[in-house]
A and B are shown apart, each in its own frame.
Chain A
């Protein structure tokens, strides 16, 4: 029997949908090991997030609501997670694979002397203890592993765990007993860049249009990649090449060291298909590649490839799709 603790992630009072993958993972583990799961929501003004987590079947929703947790600082959130895990005697802590959790969960794991597996994509039942699959080597290798010890930590890839139904009875909401005064104060949060557009986040969108080095400047990126995305109601993404040259912000980067997405449709506009880029998008259902080089590696994974100049093909697509 396992007691699981799911870490909820939120931003500006909104639940991040990737949290639902962590809940789906918790339910899969419970289906194998038996047991229950709890959700921890930490921050300031978290009422709406708690409300949004109702119906998932958690035994309880633990709240850590305090001005000291206003900003997502690891040195403060990790002790809160550790305290919640201890108070529940949790055997497994799970969060989504996002920069938020990657920053905080390993620190909490260290406080608990727990082993941790990042980017888990599957739960594999086994009589000697549940096993997990995770991705490594830029997506070229999948490892089957077991976490030893009385407490285990994992982050999960959102594309690998389907959004769970929300039809269970309401969960009890209980505040976590925590001494917020004792939290360290060696880091201070200064500011956060505003999200550049009203477009959806690539990790949460059904369609992602992504641009690569073929785009010469940010005006062209916006007109072609942004334009096609808006026509389709899609999110935008980009290769590292454009982030490095300052054409796109790092928050758009897809790949081994950026976001991992698995939408229904991914349109790669002038992207060559480096291993590190493909690590972030090759679990997409349908991949489209538009590239003028017929030998570009991206065509080896694309369901539909169009050998063309993006400066011609993309405006044509935008024109034809907007007429629908």
Chain B
């Protein structure tokens, strides 16, 4: 069984994001880019399934410009078999992402798609659900526990919801999106990096996969949120209680 894992290149979660003074975007100079953390978790899970014999091939895909190859190489160094760069030089929204992934899904016919629940740059949390909807297949989102059952024809998933963990079973093929607790991605090793250099990265033009990917979500400008000012340091529990009661009036 083949597992398709989409990965997005995003600013590293440790970098402080700042908005450009003209509001046209975020400052990218000096910003370190990484594989979206939820996508790294998806790669890790796919590799574990391959190592356990449940899967046979792990195929990565990234949508964007040639800089995304760097992220694909990270996934290949972790152990994925091959990668596809779908070349897109314009802005994409999650619907556009889902349409391109649906096109690639039809070409690759994977056993299922394993992807991040959310890209930590746009924080949309949409693409996986949209992909499942476009393909008319099942979905399990925000998954922190994943077991293939019934000879790999179904997946039993623990989902992280606002009310707690929910268990669902879904027929494969399906789209499964990852939450942070699913696993801890492995580090890339030096031999892994060497091997990754020889693994194939195919490049595909977006037009081969979907006809209309013009974003429906048109971003007009960006701004920084109103900052909070640091307040006061209180000296004791008594002072804290007194201020909360008599100054802030919240107790």
Interface, chain A (partner B; CB < 8 A):
11, 73-75, 78, 98-100, 102-111, 113-119, 131, 135-149, 152, 184, 186-196, 201, 203, 207, 232, 240, 243-244, 249-251, 256-257, 259, 264-265, 275-276, 282, 285-288, 294, 299-308, 313, 316-317, 320-321
Contacts and interface: CB of A to CB of B under 8 A. Distances in A.
B178 to A, nearest CB: 11
A177 B115 CA distance: 35
Contact of A136 (B121, B130, B220): B121
A20 to B, nearest CB: 16
A99 B142 contact: yes
A182 to B, nearest CB: 12
Interface residues of B, number: 82
Contacts of A106: 94, 125-130, 133
A317 B138 contact: no
A61 to B, nearest CB: 24
22 contacts: A100-B162, A103-B139, A103-B142, A103-B161, A105-B129, A107-B130, A110-B95, A110-B98, A110-B130, A110-B133, A116-B94, A118-B123, A140-B19, A190-B169, A265-B251, A276-B13, A282-B228, A285-B250, A299-B233, A305-B231, A306-B240, A320-B237
B141 interface: yes
Nearest to B144: A250
B219 A118 contact: no
B125 A109 contact: no
A207 B76 CA distance: 47
Interface of B: 11, 13, 16-19, 26, 93-95, 98, 117-118, 120-134, 136-142, 144, 156, 159-171, 174, 179-181, 214-225, 228, 230-234, 236-238, 240-241, 243-244, 248, 250-251
B250 A264 contact: yes
Contacts of A100: 161-162
A145 B23 CA distance: 12
Nearest to B227: A301
B171 A304 contact: no
A288 B132 contact: no
B170 A305 contact: no
Q: Is the interface of B mostly helix, strand, loop or mixed?
A: mixed
Given A102-B125, A141-B26, A148-B216, A320 B251 contact: no
B162 A259 contact: yes
A138 B120 CA distance: 7
Contact of B162 (A145, A251, A301): A251
Given A141-B19, A276-B13, A305 B123 contact: no
A109 B138 contact: no
Nearest to B137: A186
Give the most central of B26, B123, B130, B243: most A CB within 10 Å: B123
Contacts of B122: 136-137
Contacts of B17: 137-138, 140-141
B215 to A, nearest CB: 7
The 10 closest A-B pairs by CB, nearest first: A115-B216, A110-B133, A303-B231, A106-B129, A193-B164, A107-B133, A106-B126, A186-B138, A186-B171, A190-B167
B231 A144 contact: no
Contacts of B236: 306
Contacts, number: 270
Contact of A116 (B126, B136, B139, B228): B126
A302 B162 contact: no
A256 B168 contact: no
A137 B121 contact: yes
B139 A189 contact: no
A303 B170 CA distance: 47
Given A141-B222, A285-B250, A299-B233, A187 B169 contact: yes
A305 B233 contact: yes
A227 B94 CA distance: 43
A143 B250 contact: no
Contacts of A186: 137-138, 170-171, 174
Give the most central of B16, B160, B230, B237: most A CB within 10 Å: B237
A113 B99 CA distance: 10
A270 to B, nearest CB: 15
A145 B241 contact: no
A288 B244 contact: yes
Given A257-B118, A306-B234, A75 B139 contact: yes
A243 B181 CA distance: 8
Nearest to B230: A300
B9 to A, nearest CB: 14
A186 B169 CA distance: 8
Given A107-B132, A141-B17, A99 B160 contact: yes
A213 B119 CA distance: 26
Contacts of A11: 163
B241 A250 contact: no
Contacts of A148: 214-218
